[in-house]
Each structure stands twice: as C-alpha cells, then as structure tokens.
Structure 1
Amino acid sequence: MVAHKCAQHNDELGRIAIASRNISKCQAIIDSINAKGSLKQPGELKAYAVNALDIEATKALIQETESQIVINVGSAFLNMSVLRACIDTGAAYLDTAIHEDPSKICETPPWYANYEWKHLDECKDKGITAILGVGFDPGVVNAYAALAQQEHFDSIESIDILDVNAGSHGKYFATNFDPEINFREFTGTVWSWQNREWTPNTMFEVKRTDNLPVVGEQSLYLTGHDEVHSLSKHLDVPNVRFWMGFGEHYINVFTVLKNLGLLSEKPVKTAEGLEVVPLKVVKAVLPDPASLAPSYSGKTCIGDVIKGQKDGQPRELFVYNVADHAEAYAETDSQGISYTAGVPPVAAALLVARGDWDAQQMQNVEQLPAKPFLALLDTMGLPTRIKEGERDLPWDQF
C-alpha cells in the first residue's frame, strides 16, 4: 500500500527502495506497482533484503540507497532499531505505531515514554526529523483532534476516537492486520485517559453504540490504543478514549482463544519437547491479512467525536473518513484497512520532502500543522468530513 502511493508520487519522492527480510515479497510489491501502472514517472524501484533488527545492516542499506526518508511500516517490534539507524545516518524517520517489546503486553502508560520519547533530546540536538504514529489511528485521528482544537473549539472536554470496519472478508475468522499485533492490543489492561489520569479496564468491559455516517449503527468497545498516549500529553483535554467496533463472532472466537491460553506471548513446551509461542502459532494458522483484499467488500468509518465549548456554548463534532475496501483493492491491490493505514505515512513523507513537516526533531502528529496534511489526504484518497447534527461537510468547507 505504502509502496503504491510512493510510486504515485515519485516525481517528488524520487528513487524508491523496498526492504524486507524476504526479498521476494518486495519483488511481488514491485510487480504489483508495475501491473497497476502506479509509477507517476519513470524511476528507480528496487527490492532489498534486510533484517531491520540489525541496526548496522539497516544503516548500511540507508547509506547504500542514499535514502533521505525511511517509512517504517514493518512490525512495531522494529521501531527502535530502525529509529536508531535513522538517527545515526541522518535520515528522516516515520512510523505508524508505538514500539512494542515482544515479551511485554499493554505496558504501564504512557507507552511512548518507555521507548521513542527517550530519544526526544537526541533527535532535537542532531536535527533528526522523526514523526511518530502517522498511520490513520494513530495519525490522521491525531490531526483531527488538533484541527478541532485549533479551529472549532475554545476548550475540549473529551475526544473519543471511533474505529469501525463494517466490511466483510468472507473468512470464518481473520484479522485485518498482523494477528500478533492485533491480539496483543486486547489481551491485557485497557488504558484510557479519564479525568486527567490513566484509568484501567478489561477488554469488552465498556461498550457504546453509535449511529455513524454510511456504516449505520455500530457497537464499539473501549480499548487501549497508541494515540491516547500522545494526545493525553500534548493536548489539554481531560478525557481521551479509543473505541473499536467488534461483531459478536469476533468476540466469541477471541474469548475462546484467550481462555485456552492460545493468545499468550509466553513460550510453552509441547509433549514432544518443542518450545512454541501460542500467539505465534495462532498467527501462523490464520489467513494472511494481505490475502483478504481480493474478496473484501464494505466500508470503514474512523473518526473523532469531540465535545467541548465554543463561544460559551456546548459543541459536539464528529470529524471522520469513510473508506471503501473494493475501491482500495482496485487502486492498489490492498484492502481498506491497509489503505487507511498506508496513505497517511506517504502524505507525511511528501510534507517532509516539501519542508512543511521537516521538523528536525521528534514529534507526534498532533504537534504538526494539521491543514496541509488533511488537504493532501483529500487528494490521495482519504477525504475528511465534519458532522455536527444534520450538517455534514468536507472539513475545509465546514
């Protein structure tokens, strides 16, 4: 997804290097880009093999390819290694999620302070641009919150981020992105920011129902998520929560897997003496998220419900995007979840290249100018709308 969008803007982004442990996977992406005719102009598009946990190898690849911007859309387990390589080589760094330690789940908040934020001073001292969490959520929803604070409210009481996938992939059970990362979000403590303090809950303990644009009435559950950890620090808002939509079937399967211990990240030994990690076994037997794209139908709806005051009066806005799975596949061979997550880091890379977001320090999305980001997303397939009561308009006309 990211490679396709970079190719569509190679007039600005220049030569594109795609790297993974499995070089054949990179070559398949290049083949897809060529088949779709995604390159805006003739240009270099090359595949490389690298273990991104190997900092020296990653540094060498950055130097070999003369890369000035590195978009890290690998596993969240790679963040600190890739960030280190970028700091040491001077390349700009972008990612879409908080770093995770494979041995830990749902750490004590704020998670960013456990990892990325420890390098704030170093990035600033060395003039390294590092933009954290610039997918959709986290990422675009952070920009929505910043836009609301800057343009539409005098004070904000609460930000509730709603993430609904109302699409259907036709499989008995599958996750829309890496199953290991997906399940790790939901098996530990659910942390939210309420009344200016961290509040713990368990998964599926707190539920809400919303009637959302296009996708209709949906059940959502309070869960922990990356953006809560930065928005609670950077915006003066007493309540920041993240809600995700789940169907009963997903909840039932998840509950059985968890109760059987199959979602554990801790190694166990089989009767034959083999050591396995149950969560990795579950990941191995589930469908590859990329395989879901051809048959995916339906839409997503992701946005921020923001409540506060404007001109002495209470105000509530829903700032959101709706994406279509089939349209995403037709354009990029990817499903809608990949599309919503993959377009924003490319938009961010363009803004870094243009200078608008070349911050020369480490920042989260809500610390950066929201308008150029949202304007670019409008042209790249993820238009933003704002709904207030019956009024529902593009963000720049609201």
Structure 2
Amino acid sequence: MSKVLVIGAGGVSSVCVHKMAMNPDIFSQIHLASRTKSKCDAIAESVRQRTGQEVATYEIDAEEVPAMVNLIRKLGPSLVVNLALPYQDLPIMDACLEAGVDYLDTANYEPKDEAKFEYKWQWAYHDRFREAGILALLGSGFDPGVTSVFTMWLKKHKLKTIRQLDILDCNGGDHGQHFATNFNPEINIREVTAPARHWENGKWVESPAMGEKVEFQFEGVGSKNMYMMYHEELESLAKFNPELERARFWMTFGDEYIKHLTVLQNVGMTRIDPVKYQGRDIIPLQFLAAVLPQPETLGETTKGKTNIGVIATGEALDGSGEKTFYINNICDHEDAYEETGNQAVSYTTGVPAMVGSAMVLQRKWAGDGVFNMEEFDPDPFLEMLGEQGLPWNVKELDGPVDF
C-alpha cells in the first residue's frame, strides 16, 4: 500500500492513473498534478466513474523546483511518476533529490532549444541519487521501456549474446484526422524531424531524417512503410549490451502524415527557435502543437491496432548456434479506449509506467542511484505487463531480418 504523485495530465497520464486506480492493493493513494488543474480534474472524474477510486488533484509548474519540493513534502508520496514533457525531467529529479523520494519517468531528458534525446544529463545524477539513498528509474514506457525489457528477457531466456537488434514500432490506427500525432505533438514532431541515428560497430551512424524506408508485414495490422529514426533506448541498449554490432529503431508513418509533415517543415512550422510575431517571441512548433488535435481527444475515433516489438539475432543460450527471435505486443485501439478512455498509443505507454511504478513500490526492482530498465530482472515486469492488458508473444524466425 503506497502513495504516489503523478506529474502531467496528457493521454499517457490518464492511462497510468486509471490503471493505478484499478490496482488499489498497490496504489493506496493517487495524487495528480499538472500546470492545468482542469485536465487533472477531468482524469480524476473519469477514474471515479470507471473504478470508484478517488484521485486528488493539484496545480503545479513542474519546472518550479521549490514549488515541486513543497508539494512533495506536503503529500509525502513514496514515488513521483513524471509523465510531463521530457525537458521537465531534470527539475523534477532535482525536486525528488531535495525531498528524498524515488523518481520514475517514461522518456529521457531533452533540452528545450535542441531536439537531442540523450541520457547523459540524467545519468549524471547517479551519484547524488545513490548518496541520497533513493532510486530513479528511467524510461518506463513502451519504447523506451518495454522494448528494453523485451531485449533483456531474450538475453536471459533465449540468447547468450545479441549481435543485431531492430525495434519495430507500428501504429496501424486510423483516427480520421487529416493530420494528427499519436502522442504530444511537440515531442512527436521533434523526434521525427531529427536526424536518424543507429548503432553500428561501436559508433553512432547518422543519416537524414526519414531517409530510409522499408516495407514490413505486421501481424494484426498488415503491410506498412517503416522509417529508420533515432530513439533513446538505442543508447541504453548499446551501453548495457556491449556485444551489439548493430541496433536500429523503426517507426511506421502513413503517406498522408509524411506529406503534411514535409509541407510543415518546408514552411518553417516545425522550427524550435523563437520567431518574432506582432512584437512577441513565439516558437513555431509550439504554436503548431496548440492548433493540432490533442492525442487524448483521439481515442473515441481511433480504430485499428498497434504492433511494437523487438527482433534480435545472436548466439543461442542452448549452444545451438545463431538464432533470431521476434518478441512483440499487439494492442487494439478500441479495447484501450473502452477500458481507459484513451487510444492505444497512450495505453501502451501508460500501462508500462504503472507497471514500472509497481516494481519500484513493491521493491521487485530496487537500488540506490539512477537506473535504466535493462538493469533489472525482466521477468516480474513482463509477467505483470501481460496481466494488466499488454500480453506479449515471442517466436523464432528462420533467420536474421534482411532490411
């Protein structure tokens, strides 16, 4: 029985808080705070109607460390769950350090003025968290998060070493909009428009954004074009699997999404530097994010499925030579909406955030310092993940993927 404080009130937070309320034996009290209290109140009301559980709500600016410290000390949570924006990670970590409470997030830190996802800023906090006797768990979403745990499960149960790794993220959902992002528009577009990077032979190889396209047949979805891009779990996977020769990340995008994004880039609407407008500085991408549909509003109209997983090739544990395994989850948008009022992209991140929180609160994952998902036993996490709405499947392929 533990008290948690969740920061942020988007679609992922909504799913996470709903799932926490469905597990009252683990989460005895749930507190929810964000810059816009009305969004917290809407989530709390949905949770009350669906589960009968109460969620207390608060207004907070996550970048104001003293205010965050005061709120944490007032509430006395066992864990702070950061589901706000990636560039708010460090202030929230600072507040947790000062208040002496464990921390969890779903995405690594990114500076506001540069689309650069790296763990170095958060890894630099390790000694301070260790000395404070508290834990910070980084990246407890799906990717990063479940994909990292999938990889380590394969390494524990199937493969002695992993030579090649490909992460495949497919969203086969249709929301009926001309152009909309599946998660926070600002973060989504910053990710997609950044140069692609993959790990190969001990170094990072950079290529143009959306420059490499491959068609792949996804179970439950069908044939989709996927594009190589950079994603933060590649950095931690390369760190904790030094034998990796190559690691890549792929995400699917429809032709309409690519067409709209290309036009927006060409006219400067994806810029993250200030532009003068009527005497005021505005960030074009932030303005664009404000006029696009918010992901949490897309649940009711989104149909189809997601399919996210890992294909790994390496030396088999049983000594039978090189083998290739594909481990993945398929999630239905309509099922996710029926359970939590959110579409599957939010669901596949919000459920792992809840499961990671449970691992910390139940001390199934424990330690002092800053840790990535790869550093803990994958078995209890994946067991609970399957029980909580994201069942997974693993199968052996005929050989390494050729793309």
Query: Shorter-chain-normalised TM-score: which range?
Result: over 0.9
Structure 1 residue 216, shift from structure 2 partner: 2.1
Per mean C-alpha deviation after superposition, the further-off stretch among 156-165 and 81-90 is 81-90
Instruction: Give the match for residue 354 of structure 1.
Output: 362
Query: What is the 5 A alignment of 1:193-232?
Result: 193-232=199-238
Instruction: Give the match for residue 249 of structure 1.
Output: 256
- Give % identity: 36
Structure-2 separation of matches of 1:179 and 1:8:
28
Runs of 4+ in 1 over 4 A off after TM superposition: none
Structure-1 separation of matches of 2:90 and 2:148:
22
Instruction: Give the match for residue 393 of structure 1.
Output: none
Structure-2 separation of matches of 1:316 and 1:202:
29
Query: What is the 5 A alignment of 1:264-279?
Result: 264-270=271-277, 272-279=278-285
Q: Secondary structure at the match of 1:295?
A: coil
TM-score, normalised via structure 2 length? 0.92
Structure 1 residue 86, shift from structure 2 partner: 1.0
Q: Secondary structure at the match of 1:386?
A: strand
Structure-1 separation of matches of 2:72 and 2:322:
50
Structure-1 separation of matches of 2:353 and 2:286:
27
How many residues align structurally? 381
Structure-1 separation of matches of 2:55 and 2:226:
41
Instruction: Give the match for residue 64 of structure 2.
Output: 54
Cα deviation, 1:21-42, whole Å, max 9, x if unaligned, reads 1111111111000111263xxx
* Preserved contact between residue 192 and residue 240 of structure 1 (Cα < 8 Å): yes
Structure-1 separation of matches of 2:331 and 2:302:
12
Structure-1 separation of matches of 2:223 and 2:232:
25
Structure-1 separation of matches of 2:367 and 2:331:
29
Structure 1 residue 2, shift from structure 2 partner: 1.0
Residue 4 (str. 1) matches residue 18 (str. 2): yes
Structure-2 separation of matches of 1:193 and 1:61:
41
Cα deviation, 1:170-229, whole Å, max 9, x if unaligned, reads 111100111100011122221211112111011111122222221122211110011011
Q: Secondary structure at the match of 2:299?
A: helix
Structure-1 separation of matches of 2:357 and 2:240:
22
* Preserved contact between residue 162 and residue 241 of structure 2 (Cα < 8 Å): no
Cα deviation, 1:47-101, whole Å, max 9, x if unaligned, reads 0111110111111111111111111001111100111111121211000001111
Relative to 1, partners in 2 of residues 1:375 and 1:38: Cα closer, same or farther, differing over 3 Å? Answer: farther
Per mean C-alpha deviation after superposition, the further-off stretch among 212-221 and 328-337 is 212-221
Instruction: Give the match for residue 74 of structure 2.
Output: 64
Residue 185 (str. 1) matches residue 191 (str. 2): yes
Structure-1 separation of matches of 2:94 and 2:247:
30
Per mean C-alpha deviation after superposition, the further-off stretch among 13-22 and 372-381 is 13-22
Structure-2 separation of matches of 1:240 and 1:150:
18
Structure-2 separation of matches of 1:244 and 1:98:
18
Structure-1 separation of matches of 2:223 and 2:91:
42
Instruction: Give the match for residue 15 of structure 1.
Output: 29
* Preserved contact between residue 106 and residue 190 of structure 1 (Cα < 8 Å): no
User: Any unmatched runs of 5+ in structure 1?
Assistant: 391-398
Residue 117 (str. 1) matches residue 123 (str. 2): yes
Instruction: Give the match for residue 260 of structure 1.
Output: 267
Residue 115 of structure 2 aligns with an amino acid whose one-letter code is: I
Cα deviation, 1:323-380, whole Å, max 9, x if unaligned, reads 0111111000111000000001111111111111122221100111100000000110
Match for 1:379 among 387, 390, 396?
Answer: 387
* Preserved contact between residue 176 and residue 289 of structure 1 (Cα < 8 Å): yes
Structure-1 separation of matches of 2:200 and 2:113:
28
Instruction: Give the match for residue 238 of structure 1.
Output: 245
Structure 1 residue 312, shift from structure 2 partner: 4.4
* Preserved contact between residue 196 and residue 210 of structure 2 (Cα < 8 Å): no
Q: Secondary structure at the match of 1:15?
A: strand
User: Any unmatched runs of 5+ in structure 2?
Assistant: 1-14, 399-403
* Preserved contact between residue 272 and residue 284 of structure 2 (Cα < 8 Å): yes
Structure-2 separation of matches of 1:306 and 1:363:
23
Match for 1:323 among 313, 328, 331?
Answer: 331
* Preserved contact between residue 21 and residue 51 of structure 2 (Cα < 8 Å): no
Residue 59 of structure 2 aligns with an amino acid whose one-letter code is: A
Instruction: Give the match for residue 89 of structure 2.
Output: 79
Structure-1 separation of matches of 2:95 and 2:285:
29
